[in-house]
């Protein structure tokens, strides 16, 4: 496992953004809250609206509650939204299997109906989703801000696209890792190190959550 170097300025909190049609109660969100709790670090992991512009606006409001220098963490579509925030506010971020071109991705889902297993919400992907994602996409990325975690067997997104888009970022390749990145607990020390904090390896596991 690759650990990112400690930053001169430690993160004042952590904002975690879940992926498309996922939720604040997802296993990855729970792991991030547990890791932050072990360090006494403020953590926000909001339930995001399915519309991208509304999701980003909600996430941005959360930043003000996390101090002057929050670390951003996002998975899949949440990784895209985190990138938007990192570029807008010059913040460091850790991305787990991030969506690189989500406007093109949702274009394939136009008219498709979804049910969110965490909230029960039902919605249909429309052209508005694609337009909002296209408008939000940053014109330029600064790879030095990012820690990139990619599963090499991602069945939803091509890891090569993220590797190319964030070329120059510190990168962890998890052999055989799927889109859900079920090994996230093993990489929590690297993620928190990217925010200037030390978390002992193995301190937070899925068993930790089961026993909570």
pLDDT in tens, 50-64: 999 999 999 999 998
pLDDT value of position 205: 85
The pairs formed by 42-45 with CB atoms below 8 angstroms and a separation of 24 or more are 42/12, 42/13, 42/14, 42/66, 42/67, 43/13, 43/14, 43/15, 43/16, 44/13, 44/14, 44/15, 44/16, 45/15, 45/16, 45/17, 45/18
- 93 bridge partner residues: 72, 146
* E strand map for 111-178: 113-115, 122-124, 146-151, 170-174
pLDDT value of position 212: 46
- 94 bridge partner residues: 73, 147
Secondary structure of residue 37 in the 3-state scheme: helix
pLDDT value of position 209: 62
The radius of gyration computed from the CA coordinates of the chain, to the nearest angstrom, equals 16
Q: Identify the structural domains of the chain with CATH numbers, from first to last.
A: 14-211 (3.40.50.1820)
Mean pLDDT, residues 33-57: 97
Q: Please write the tens of the pLDDT for every residue from 168-212.
A: 999 999 998 889 898 999 999 999 999 999 999 999 987 666 554
How far is 158 from 31, CA to CA, in rounded Å? 24
pLDDT value of position 180: 86
Q: Is the pLDDT of residue 5 over 50?
A: no
Mean pLDDT, residues 20-34: 96
For the chain, give the mean pLDDT.
92
**Closest to 70 (Cα-Cα) out of 55, 85, 57:** 85
Q: What is the largest CA-CA distance in the chain?
A: 47
CA 67 to the chain's CA centroid:
19
Q: Please write the tens of the pLDDT for every residue from 130-140.
A: 999 999 999 99
Secondary structure of residue 44 in the 3-state scheme: strand
pTM: 0.93
Count CB neighbours of 168 within 10 A. Answer: 11
Q: Which residues of 178-210 are buried (b: 16+ CB within 10 A; e: fewer)?
A: ebbbeebbbbbbbbbbbbbbebeeeebeeebee
pLDDT value of position 58: 98
pLDDT value of position 207: 64
């Amino acid at each position: 496992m690759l650990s990112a170097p400690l930053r001169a300025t430690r993160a004042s909190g952590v904002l975690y953004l879940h992926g498309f049609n996922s939720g604040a109660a997802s296993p990855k969100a729970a792991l991030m809250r547990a890791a932050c709790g072990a360090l006494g670090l403020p953590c926000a992991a909001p339930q995001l609206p399915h519309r991208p512009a509304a999701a980003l606006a909600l996430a941005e409001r959360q930043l003000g509650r996390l101090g002057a220098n929050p670390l951003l963490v996002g998975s899949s579509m949440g990784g895209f939204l985190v990138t938007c925030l990192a570029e807008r506010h010059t913040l460091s971020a850790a991305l787990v299997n991030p969506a690189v071109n989500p406007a093109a991705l949702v274009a394939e889902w136009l008219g498709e109906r979804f049910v969110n297993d965490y909230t029960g919400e039902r919605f249909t992907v429309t052209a508005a989703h694609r337009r909002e994602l296209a408008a939000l996409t940053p014109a330029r990325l600064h790879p030095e801000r990012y820690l990139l975690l990619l599963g090499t067997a991602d069945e939803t997104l091509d890891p090569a696209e993220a590797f190319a888009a964030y070329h120059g970022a510190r990168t962890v390749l998890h052999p055989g890792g799927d889109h859900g990145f079920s090994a996230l607990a093993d990489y929590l020390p690297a993620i928190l190190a990217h925010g200037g904090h030390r978390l002992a390896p193995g301190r937070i596991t899925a068993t930790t959550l089961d026993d909570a």
